[in-house]
Structure 1
Amino acid sequence: MKTLILGGTREARELADIASGERGFEIVSSLAGRVRAPALPVGEVRVGGFGGAEGLREWLAGNGIEAVVDATHPFAGGITANAAAAAAALGLPVLHVRRPGWLERDGDRWVRVPDLALAAEAAAALGKRVFLTIGRQGVGAFANSEGWFLIRAIDPPEGAVPPQHELLLARGPFSVEEEIALLIERRIDVLVTKDSGGALTEAKLSAARELGLAVVMIDRPPLPAGAEQVETVAAAWDWLRARRDSVM
């Protein structure tokens, strides 16, 4: 069963690693190409966009794809919507893999917002020294903000940035101790992050809780209506095997 895994996440790499070695599967992983040196999965990999839902539909049909797994980042709303539309147009099964979001704990001071624009407003009301951990995309929403910003990303942001800022290029995971030390050293008042979920980047939330700092948490975009969703690689693997067995 020729399967497209839309990836760029740990879950996508793990699923490709498992499925590529299994009988009855031909796996193609697709990466958006927005990170300069991405961690690559096992097997065939394509990099770059498809040209919207119609371009993806044509690519799926032209390459004989029989199933689609959308294991992209929880905030990759565009490709998620395109995958759902393209697969529906061709009558292909599509599964969305989304790790659980983070849950607020005792001692947290979270302010939840639906988008970047409201995140910028909330951050301005909560402090003058802001730690942005939203990746390089979306930093422009804070370009007109007053105050000082620590921007941490894997690659430099493109476009406008806040007038007063420090750019910290780094790839996690980071320990709680490292995050606490960074927050103290930079005298951070408020952390801004996306509700990406997962243990690899959760240390910053533990550090903010330990220091009593405010957190602006940006909610995920919703999945397409009626989307089939699982939260784990194991569940996605069960789904793939069930579809393989149904056609063998």
Structure 2
Amino acid sequence: MPIRVLLLGGTAEAAELAARSVREFGAALDLVTSWAGRTQAAPDLPGRLRIGGFGGARGLATYLAGERIAAVIDATHPFAARISAQARQACESAGVPLLALERPPWPKEPGDRWIEADSLAEAARLLPNLGRRAFLTVGAGGVPAFADVQDVWFLVRLLAMPDRPLALGPHVVVIGRGPFTAEAERTLMAEHRIDILVSKASGGAPTQAKIAAARDLGIPVLLIRRPAESALRLTGDQVMAKLKPLFPETRG
């Protein structure tokens, strides 16, 4: 019988790990990816896709037991602290191993002009003193924090068009999913005369191009710091090594 693994996804790294796991373990793996996001924004993933919540830590623990999940991989966004905490609690309750995937932070390079904030609210307070034309890349859930910002025009990038108009000052919405190229990001920022980039300090290669583009253009970056980590994070190779003992027939 295939070994069932639950992958908590919603990131490019999750999609990459899903593809890698299926290649490595083949039919011995029954991979279920829980996608944290809108259905129309989900990429084409191997295995089975599950959309929607579990009902908190207790609901997830019940799901793990009922579905006989052998391991959980947390490959959610670094800012999805609540989901990660619920996964940790559920796995402890159900006695299921939890493997948390690392997303490396962006390295600061010569020419980077970073202003760091501890929260979206702090970033919104700082923004009017830093620029007048902002490229806002904080996700749909982060946009409301900037609703009361005055005297700033926004270029807002989202994964999908919102269901209703954004509660935000003057703005234009662009739709896109990484990875992006630095050249495309430079062109986008130049066309819209961007003078400040606003981003969560998400890290990872798929969205690093905007940081490089801002550096090339001499544009400052207002970065929202990551929440404190509550679990040891593993590289993709380490996650695969931890999974391998579950599949003895694939060894060697």
- Distance of 2:75 and 2:63 partners within structure 1: 18
Equivalent in 182, 186, 191 of residue 185 of structure 1: 191
Task: Using the TM superposition, give the Cα deviation of residue 162 of structure 1 relative to its aligned residue in structure 2, in angstroms.
Answer: 1.7
- Distance of 2:122 and 2:139 partners within structure 1: 17
Task: Using the TM superposition, give the Cα deviation of residue 94 of structure 1 relative to its aligned residue in structure 2, in angstroms.
Answer: 0.3
**Matching of residue 242 in structure 1 with residue 248 in structure 2:** no
- CA spacing shift, 1:35–1:45, aligned 2, 3 Å: closer
Instruction: Map 1:1-248 onto structure 2 (within 5 A).
Output: 1-21=3-23, 22=25, 24-146=28-150, 147-157=152-162, 160-224=166-230, 227-231=231-235, 233-245=236-248
- Distance of 1:174 and 1:15 partners within structure 2: 19
- Distance of 1:235 and 1:78 partners within structure 2: 24
- CA spacing shift, 1:194–1:35, aligned 2, 3 Å: farther
- Distance of 2:84 and 2:136 partners within structure 1: 24
Q: More deviation in 23-32 or 47-56?
A: 23-32
- Distance of 1:241 and 1:160 partners within structure 2: 45
Task: Using the TM superposition, give the Cα deviation of residue 125 of structure 1 relative to its aligned residue in structure 2, in angstroms.
Answer: 1.5
Which ranges of structure 2 fall in alignment gaps of 5 or more residues?
none
Preserved CA contact (<8 Å) 1:140 1:159: no
- Distance of 1:79 and 1:156 partners within structure 2: 24
Task: Using the TM superposition, give the Cα deviation of residue 89 of structure 1 relative to its aligned residue in structure 2, in angstroms.
Answer: 0.9
Task: Using the TM superposition, give the Cα deviation of residue 243 of structure 1 relative to its aligned residue in structure 2, in angstroms.
Answer: 4.5
Task: Using the TM superposition, give the Cα deviation of residue 98 of structure 1 relative to its aligned residue in structure 2, in angstroms.
Answer: 1.8
CA offsets, 1:13-34, max 9 Å, x none?
2322233351643221111242
- Distance of 1:159 and 1:83 partners within structure 2: 33
- Distance of 2:155 and 2:195 partners within structure 1: 11
Preserved CA contact (<8 Å) 1:94 1:228: no
- CA spacing shift, 1:29–1:191, aligned 2, 3 Å: same
| Amino acid of the structure 1 residue aligned with 2:242 | W
State the TM-score, normalizing by the size of structure 1.
Answer: 0.90
- Distance of 1:69 and 1:212 partners within structure 2: 38
Task: Using the TM superposition, give the Cα deviation of residue 11 of structure 1 relative to its aligned residue in structure 2, in angstroms.
Answer: 2.4
Aligned-residue sequence identity (percent) comes to 44
Task: Using the TM superposition, give the Cα deviation of residue 49 of structure 1 relative to its aligned residue in structure 2, in angstroms.
Answer: 0.7
Matched residues, number: 243
Which ranges of structure 1 fall in alignment gaps of 5 or more residues?
none
Preserved CA contact (<8 Å) 1:80 1:223: no
Task: Using the TM superposition, give the Cα deviation of residue 58 of structure 1 relative to its aligned residue in structure 2, in angstroms.
Answer: 0.9
- Distance of 1:11 and 1:208 partners within structure 2: 23
- Distance of 2:197 and 2:39 partners within structure 1: 23
CA offsets, 1:218-241, max 9 Å, x none?
1112232xx23213x222111111
- Distance of 1:153 and 1:35 partners within structure 2: 14
Preserved CA contact (<8 Å) 2:112 2:215: yes
Task: Using the TM superposition, give the Cα deviation of residue 182 of structure 1 relative to its aligned residue in structure 2, in angstroms.
Answer: 1.8
CA offsets, 1:133-164, max 9 Å, x none?
11222100001101111111121346753221
Aligned-residue Cα RMSD (Å) equals 1.9
CA offsets, 1:182-223, max 9 Å, x none?
222211111001112122211111111111111011111223
- Distance of 1:210 and 1:14 partners within structure 2: 28
